[in-house]
Amino acid sequence: MCRSWRVLLLALAVGTASAEVHNIEATFVPDFANPQKNQFKNQTPSEGFCLQVPQACEPSGLFSLIARIPFTAIAPIRANHTDPRQGGMAQVPSHWRDVQITHASGDTSLVQVRIAGIGHEAAFPLSVEEMTGGGNWESLWEGGGWINAPAPCLGVGWASAGHHGYNSFWRVPEGAGICAKKARFEIPLAMRYQYFVYAYELRTPDPLKMIAGDYTGTLTYTVGPGQDFDMGDVLIPSDSLLTLNFLLRVTHTLKVDIPPGGNRVVLEPLGGWQSWLSQGRKPTRLMRDQTFLLSASSRFKMNMQCQYSIGNDCGLWDSRADHVVPLEVRVTLPPGIVDAAEQPVNRRRLLSDGSGTELFQPGFYLDRKPGTLHFEVARDAVDDMLVPGVARSYSGNVTVIWDSEVG
């Protein structure tokens, strides 16, 4: 299940001949205190607007970073213009885009991203009083100052201003089109955006279904009139490309704890040996259940290695009789873990080649949850083992493997 979170992004200017580039990093580490929280954590610190006015951003989970791509006006902005592209406007890629991210192993996953906010640090060649004949920022633009975002954008209730500059930020709903302000007075040539700030919303994959390690991917946006980041036909950017490099780092836990003494398993009949010893009544089977504690945040597989093998099973050997009997090993995993068919794992047979146990998937982070290994010698084998008046002792080593390297 994808989770959604929002941040804002910084892109550092590297000159007009190169794309603006920023590395976006998010990490996932299992949290035993919040096992249901299967989310990546943003590692990009906030700058700019949301750093200055955190109360305007925190309720929406926004972070701001500064994109140092200046825009410069190539013509005056005429008073009461009818074309929104001739005034102060912004249209950004607010719809979702897919970004494939790839692990070094070749495993891939999908990130979705959209731009969720846009802000400007605007500078003007004349003071607002000079441009409006004694007015203010509220009178310069139709609908008031840029603190009042034009539909379909949404204001955040905060802005900062001086005589020659205005710093604002607008939230951008999903799929929004042009957000435009009409000037009520002429703005002379040389209006500039010193930089702009933009937010993105990111949908990350379920980290529990990803391999531990780093996933990387790239998305390039275009900047300029008619492009992804479009500020109209009057204000022209110094750079035309913005490249986002994604790094999602996944850390997983897979740990099995066996209680003290649990590595020595003694098989007995149900109810003990008394019926055989006193009455000569053969038990129908020999068995033992061994509990283990499992901590897991990622998919894994299971198999086993045998000191003595009988086909795909392990065996127990009596050295004096040179006799081997098959030992069945099964596993029950804690609730919250399912197999490849999304079925619970209850008394699942373990085989030496790992067939049938190729994939187990936790639905959330499990921390020291109990599971059970079931060891059993079936009735036919028990009949061969127990001979009246003959002492026998069967033993063998079985190594049960929980393996996070899932192909």
Instruction: Break the chain down into helix, strand, coil percent, rounded to 5.
Output: 10, 45, 45
Given this model, what pLDDT does residue 112 score?
93
The pair of structure tokens assigned to 60 is: 């929406």
The alpha carbon of 170 is separated from its chain's Cα centroid by a whole number of angstroms, namely 27
For residue 406, pLDDT over 90 is answered with no
* 99 vs 108: CA distance, rounded Å: 10
Helix (H) or strand (E) holding 71: strand 71-73
Given this model, what pLDDT does residue 13 score?
32
* 326 vs 329: CA distance, rounded Å: 10
Residues 387-398, mean pLDDT to the nearest whole number: 83
CATH topology of domain 254-403: Immunoglobulin-like (2.60.40)
Residues 39-61, mean pLDDT to the nearest whole number: 80
| Percent over 70 (pLDDT), the chain | 92
Q: In terms of DSSP bridges, do strands 97-103 and 213-222 run parallel, antiparallel, or are they unpaired?
A: antiparallel
Least-confidence region, from 34-48, 77-91, 130-144, 292-306: 34-48
* 223 vs 87: CA distance, rounded Å: 17
Contact 75, 94 (CB under 8 A): no
pLDDT band per the 50, 70, 90 thresholds, residue 18 = low
Given this model, what pLDDT does residue 60 score?
76
Phi-psi region of 342 (alpha: psi -120 to 50; beta: other; left: phi over 0): left
* 20 vs 69: CA distance, rounded Å: 8
Given this model, what pLDDT does residue 274 score?
66
Closest CA to 369 of 338, 344, 403, 335: 335
Structure confidence by residue, pLDDT tens digits, 243-286? 899 999 998 888 999 999 888 999 988 767 766 665 556 777 88
pLDDT band per the 50, 70, 90 thresholds, residue 372 = very high
Mean of per-residue pLDDT scores for the chain: 87
Least-confidence region, from 183-197, 360-374, 377-391: 377-391
* 69 vs 237: CA distance, rounded Å: 6
Phi-psi region of 307 (alpha: psi -120 to 50; beta: other; left: phi over 0): alpha
Closest CA to 235 of 150, 324, 335, 123: 123
* 311 vs 293: CA distance, rounded Å: 29
* 118 vs 305: CA distance, rounded Å: 59
pLDDT band per the 50, 70, 90 thresholds, residue 170 = very high
Higher pLDDT, 380 or 301: 301
- Transcribe 209-234 into DSSP letters: GS-SEEEEEEEEEEBSTTSSBB-TTT
- 3-state SS, residue 33: coil
Residues 136-155, mean pLDDT to the nearest whole number: 95
Sequence-ordered list of residues with C-beta below 8 angstroms from that of 345, at least 6 positions apart, any chain: 331, 332, 333, 337, 338, 339, 360
Domain ranges of the chain: 3-250, 254-403
The pair of structure tokens assigned to 246 is: 């994604």
Given this model, what pLDDT does residue 407 score?
65
Given this model, what pLDDT does residue 386 score?
76
For residue 14, pLDDT over 70 is answered with no
Higher pLDDT, 19 or 168: 168
The pair of structure tokens assigned to 383 is: 């009949």
Sequence-ordered list of residues with C-beta below 8 angstroms from that of 152, at least 6 positions apart, any chain: 172, 173, 176, 177, 179
Q: How far, CA to CA in Å, does 247 sit from each of 134, 138, 157, 197?
A: 51, 42, 33, 21
